[in-house]
Structures are given as C-alpha cells and as structure tokens.
C-alpha cells in the first residue's frame, strides 16, 4: 500500500500522497486511516506506536451506539413498539467487506479479527402481518453513511438465512518482531470468511452484515419458526 515515495493507494485505487489521504479529515478519521495503512500513531527514536485492532473495534462500537438505537429505528420506520411484539426485536451488526460501486471499504486482517472501514447495524421488528427492517451503515474514514427502511409481508418472504461468504485480498499483515518492540509487516494473500444475513423474496433479497454468534443463531431460528407459523396459519 506504500512505496519509497510515500505514495498510497486510496480505496478507489488512486495513488495519492499521505497528505491527500488526511485532507479535510477529523483527527479521529486521520487516526483510523493510519490504522488501515499501517502508519504509526507515534514515532520515536526506537519505537513506533500503532492503533490496535481491538481499540479500533471498541471505537466502532461506540460510534454505532451513537447513531443506531432501537428508538431511532422505530422512529424511522414510523411504527409503535406495541404493534411489533410477535417475537423480540432482532439486532444484527458487523463490518461490511464486499465492494460495489457505491460502498468501497478499507479492510484489514489480523490474527485477532478482520475489520473494515464500513460498519452497519440492522434492526428487525415483527408485526402481525409484516417484518419491518431498518438498516444503518457508516464509513469510519469519512462522513459517508447510508440508511434504509424496508417492509415485507410474511406471505412474500421465502426464507431467512445466514450465508458464509469469503474474500481474498493481498494485504500487509502484522508479524511479531522488530527492533525495540516495533511491529513489522509482510505482504500476504489473505482469505477471510464472513457472514451475510438475507431476507429472500421472489426476485429479490435484502442482505446485511452480521457477526454470527450463538445468540444470533438462536434469534434466526426464532425468526424461521415465526415464518413457518405464519405460512401455516
């Protein structure tokens, strides 16, 4: 991602100097961009300090809590919580790794976890006849964000599913070692698997990022059972 001329490739594949990467960015965005480009936060005579992946993850979770709450989701959907009590509301969240023409994330893979600059949270509410969805995402390296609301009738839904996807990219990954406790990086081809949640309807599908956990698996099982109940009613 860098060369001897201190030139970097941004998320669009353009070669730009470091100063251009940081142009018009907040101090927090600068710190995060340094994280994705393996640029030290601080440099001393014998040691460099980097933003850690766990620290970045905590920062992302703090940011999403500020912008995507259950109350905001209900307000955006213009529904009353008392009318969506078929099962408990479901919340999914996770990093978005896939690329398209509008969403282009920076990505980073470490032994601890894989992360991206785009993170999204999705709320699902279950009424008597419909499923209501609020999806919110943002890019940690700039001011980009997106949100959408969707409504589906149970009768139109074919399936709820979590699917495993994979991406393969050449990345500079951290390795142990280095003088004075410095981190060294090596270029490696990395394959990473992640999960994608889908609501499938004829000819279309809603999908969003999800971190698969035991709780998430249980919630999806409850959703599938509710869908079966509605189909058989």
Which pLDDT tens digit goes with each residue over 179-199?
Answer: 545 666 667 777 778 899 999
Sign of CA dihedral 106, 112, 113, 114: positive
For residue 126, pLDDT beyond 90: yes
- Judged against a pLDDT cut of 70, whether residue 4 lies above it is answered with no
- Is the predicted pLDDT of residue 207 greater than 90, yes or no? yes
Domain span at 212: 69-232
102 is a domain residue? yes
Instruction: Classify residue 99: in a domain, yes or no.
Output: yes
Relative orientation angle of helices 27-36 and 53-67, to the nearest 10 degrees:
140
Number of domains in the chain: 1
pLDDT at 101 over 70: no
Tell me, yes or no, whether 51 lies in a domain.
no
At 7-24, the pLDDT tens digits run 888 888 889 998 899 999
Report the half-sphere exposure of 143 (CA within 13 A, side-chain side): 4
Cα–Cα distance for residue pair 56/232, rounded to 1 Å:
46
43 within domain boundaries: no
* Domain-located, residue 84: yes
* Residue 58 within any structural domain of the chain: no
Whether 59 maps to a domain, the answer reads: no
Asked whether residue 55 is assigned to any structural domain, the reply reads no
Q: Is the pLDDT confidence value at 2 over 60?
A: no
Under a CB-based contact definition with an 8 Å cutoff, are residues 38 and 45 in contact? no
């Amino acid at each position: 991602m860098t060369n001897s001329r201190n030139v970097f490739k941004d998320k669009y594949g353009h070669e730009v100097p470091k100063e251009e990467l940081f142009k018009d960015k907040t101090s927090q965005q600068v710190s995060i961009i340094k994280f994705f480009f393996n640029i030290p936060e601080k440099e001393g005579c014998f040691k460099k300090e980097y933003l850690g992946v766990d620290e970045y993850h905590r920062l992302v979770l703090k940011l999403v809590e500020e912008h995507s709450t259950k109350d905001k989701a209900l307000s955006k959907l213009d529904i009353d919580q008392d009318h969506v009590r078929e099962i408990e509301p479901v919340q999914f969240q996770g990093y978005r790794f896939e690329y398209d023409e509008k969403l282009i994330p920076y990505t980073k893979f470490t032994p601890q976890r894989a992360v991206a600059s785009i993170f999204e949270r999705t709320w699902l509410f279950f009424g008597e006849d419909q499923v209501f969805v609020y999806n919110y995402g943002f890019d940690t390296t700039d001011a980009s964000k997106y949100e959408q609301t969707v409504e589906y009738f149970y009768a139109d839904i074919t399936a709820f599913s979590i699917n495993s996807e994979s991406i393969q990219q050449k990345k500079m990954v951290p390795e142990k070692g280095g003088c004075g406790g410095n981190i060294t990086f090596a270029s490696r081809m990395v394959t990473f698997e992640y999960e994608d949640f889908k609501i499938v309807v004829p000819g279309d599908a809603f999908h969003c990022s999800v971190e698969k956990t035991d709780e998430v698996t249980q919630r999806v099982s409850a959703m599938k059972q509710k869908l079966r109940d509605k189909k058989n009613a």
